[in-house]
Amino acid sequence: MAKEIKFSLLYRDMWQSSGKYVPTVDQLLKVAPEIIDMGCFARVETNGGGFEQINLLFGENPNVANRQWTQPFNDAGIQTHMLERALNGIRMSPVPADVRKLMYKVKKKQGTDIARSFCGLNDPRNLEGSIKYAREGGMISQAALSLTVSEVHTVVYYTNLADQLIEMGTDEICIKDMAGIGRPAFLGKIVKNIKDRHPQIPVQYHGHAGPGFQMASILEVARAGAEYIDVGMEPLSWGTGHADLLAVQAMLKDAGFKVPEINMKAYMHVRALTQSFIDDFLGYYINPKNRLMNSLLIGPGLPGGMMGSLMSDLENNLASINKWLRKHGKEELTQDDLLIKLFDEVAHIWPMLGYPPLVTPFSQYVKNLALMNVIQLEKGKKRWSMIADNIWDMILGKSGKLPGELDPEIIKRAEKEGKVFYTGNPQDLYPDQLDEFRDEMKDNNWDFGEDDEELFELAMHPEQYRAYKSGQAKAAFEKDLAERKAEEGKAKVPNVPASVPQNGFEPKKLHVEVNGEKFVVNVSYDETSGQKKKEHAPVETAPKESAIVAGSLKEIIAPLEGKFFLTKDSSEKAIKPGDKVNKGDVLGYIESMKTYNAIVSEESGKVAEVCINNGDAVDEDDVIIKLL
């Protein structure tokens, strides 16, 4: 009897792997019935990753969106699944355990059946909580193996990891080939070992098309015993996305597998609707190069889902490098020159950093560090001269245990800077916070929502949620979209105010991160509602006027271009004129390539002037602070 293979449509990930945004809830509700009518999907990916932050940036309530989007599939008997990042939940940074626990209860109540959980470092300690909390919340736990290719990531390594996760209680295993660089035979051996040892555990394969291995990989894992295959469909298949449903179905049918038939009339409707969403506005956030496949990705192993932001970074940093090269009478680089230098640098430093699998957020960290090194080397400086704080957290073990050993050069640098390595459970570094967020909800008279879902949203995405509640996130998005349309010559920029005062109070700015991309949104609060200023009030901009005019001034210059911030979170206190600083103190940060790069004082002194406003753009060598 022919073995049956079932398909899962990656309707969320198709968009996220192509551009910045996903469809609005109204658009999702239009396409859901047509996806069901296709008749070929046992599962649909409906949530996870950056989905809810994007709802908030649109000005949509993500809880309403999730319930409405999953309901048609629940009614049709099609399972829904979400992607979550273990310690990081559904955001880029670590999440307290009590917030993680609440997430699964809320998502199950909203109609999501399966929690696909991955840890970017494959640390079982991070995944153990996800497995436990998902099952306690009534969800199916699907633990993912984050695939990559290195001397430490062997068939035995992944087989043993699967054994551990199954022993911890996971219901299913996902083979998460996020960069599409898993060699087909390698993947087949891993799946076969899992099925031989645990025949009762379903295996689902997820891969990206970019490097070119994916069709062969699908055939290999199917032959090895995988039951579910993730697929994309036109017009968002291939490229940085996923193998196309039609090609996968035809290939597996020809190989003798039992696969579902496709209602082609409904398929064409879904295809047309998806294209209409692109034409409406989503296409303004899709880089055309993301529709191409590129086997150069085999070497660095960078995931398809981050290639759009990578190309954007390259454009910005190429301009900076060439500006410096022109100034010093040197030959300029092309984007291809810079791309190859970056790929080579990733390949060089990745083993030195302990082979972290290149998946969110660690793919961004390794890429950013490599690009920073390339920029510094082009300017005649040394490697490792700029390492952002969140990259240090990865190096020091605060995000989990690295799969490989750190290079002695990295260890030496950490010791030189007084960094302390951490070997404990990463979750212990992030204490419970739900009570704090409950207090904020009460102080603002905000509705906790059905099943505490609004409380969850604030706790998981505090900055984005506050911006959504103020109404300013939607205004900022609409302004940005109008500007993009104007650039294409399709519309004039309407006079959309950057901020709309509410209740007589002027909006404040928040700097918001979604899947590694930074946004600035204006937020207003009703200050009579009891807002906790010590926890949530934005940093006041330091005045440009110098508080001290006598004596010899020491200029602190920007080591790279980006945006200058006095602090990176509400736990820090911004420096101001008159403050005393010691050698080694952090004076501020430059946000570049989605990481915060600390500006450290090289000597003791007193702040005479802060020359740049908080959040302003700076060029390399701009004077940002003066010390007396």
164-186 per-position pLDDT tens digit: 999 999 999 999 998 899 999 99
| pLDDT (mean) for 501-520 | 49
Q: How confident is the model at residue 537 (pLDDT cuts 50, 70, 90)?
A: very low
Residue 261 corresponds to which tokens in the numbers above?
Answer: 């038939």
Q: Which CATH architecture has domain 554-627?
A: Beta Barrel (2.40)
pLDDT of residue 510: 53
| pLDDT (mean) for 262-287 | 95
Residue 397 corresponds to which tokens in the numbers above?
Answer: 């073990």
Question: pLDDT averaged over the chain?
Answer: 86
Strands 623-627, 617-618: pairing is unpaired
Q: How far is CA 65 from CA 28, 60, 447, 495, in A?
A: 9, 7, 17, 29
Residue 213 corresponds to which tokens in the numbers above?
Answer: 């291995």
Q: By the 8 A CB rule, do 175 and 203 touch?
A: yes
pLDDT of residue 531: 41
The residue among 588 and 231 whose pLDDT is bigger is: 231
Q: Which CATH class name applies to 6-290?
A: alpha beta
Residue 425 corresponds to which tokens in the numbers above?
Answer: 């459970």
Reply yes or no on whether the pLDDT at 505 is more than 50.
no
Lowest mean pLDDT among 111-120, 130-139, 512-521, 578-587: 512-521
Q: Does residue 400 come out as left (phi exceeding 0), alpha (psi in the -120 to 50 range) or beta? A: left
Degrees, nearest 5: CA angle 342-348-353:
110
Degrees, nearest 5: CA angle 567-571-575:
40
Beta bridge partners of 7: 41, 229
Q: How confident is the model at residue 311 (pLDDT cuts 50, 70, 90)?
A: low
User: Could you tell me what percent of the chain has a pLDDT over 70?
Assistant: 87
Q: How confident is the model at residue 191 (pLDDT cuts 50, 70, 90)?
A: very high
Angle between helices 155-167 and 184-197 (to 10 degrees): 40
Reply yes or no on whether the pLDDT at 524 is more than 60.
no
| pLDDT (mean) for 431-441 | 96
Reply yes or no on whether the pLDDT at 99 is more than 90.
yes
Helix (H) or strand (E) holding 518: strand 517-523
User: What is the C-alpha separation between 175 and 167, in angstroms, rounded?
Assistant: 17
Reply yes or no on whether the pLDDT at 389 is more than 50.
yes
Q: What are the structural domain ranges in the chain? A: 6-290, 299-427, 554-627
Q: What is the DSSP letter of 533?
A: H
Lowest mean pLDDT among 16-20, 62-66, 539-543, 571-575: 539-543
Question: Which residue blocks in 305-450 are alpha helix, DSSP H?
Answer: 307-327, 335-352, 362-378, 389-396, 408-416, 434-443
Lowest mean pLDDT among 140-154, 306-320, 325-339, 575-589: 306-320
pLDDT of residue 540: 40
pLDDT of residue 495: 52
Residues in CB range of 621: below 8 A, 6 or more apart: 557, 558
pLDDT of residue 381: 83
Report cis status (omega within 30 of 0) of the bond before 356: no
Reply yes or no on whether the pLDDT at 543 is more than 80.
no
pLDDT of residue 553: 81
pLDDT of residue 308: 53
Degrees, nearest 5: CA angle 614-618-619:
170
| pLDDT (mean) for 21-28 | 93
| pLDDT (mean) for 267-296 | 90
Reply yes or no on whether the pLDDT at 23 is more than 50.
yes
Backbone CA torsion sign across 407, 409, 415, 419: negative
Q: How confident is the model at residue 507 (pLDDT cuts 50, 70, 90)?
A: very low
| pLDDT (mean) for 129-147 | 97
Q: By the 8 A CB rule, do 485 and 477 touch?
A: no
Q: By the 8 A CB rule, do 44 and 8 touch?
A: yes
In whole angstroms, how large is the CA radius of gyration of the chain? 25
As a 3-state breakdown, the chain gives helix, strand, coil percent values, each rounded to 5, of 45, 15, 40
| pLDDT (mean) for 520-537 | 44
Residues in CB range of 518: below 8 A, 6 or more apart: 511, 512, 563, 591, 594
Q: By the 8 A CB rule, do 441 and 455 touch?
A: yes
User: What is the C-alpha separation between 471 and 474, in angstroms, rounded?
Assistant: 6
pLDDT of residue 153: 95
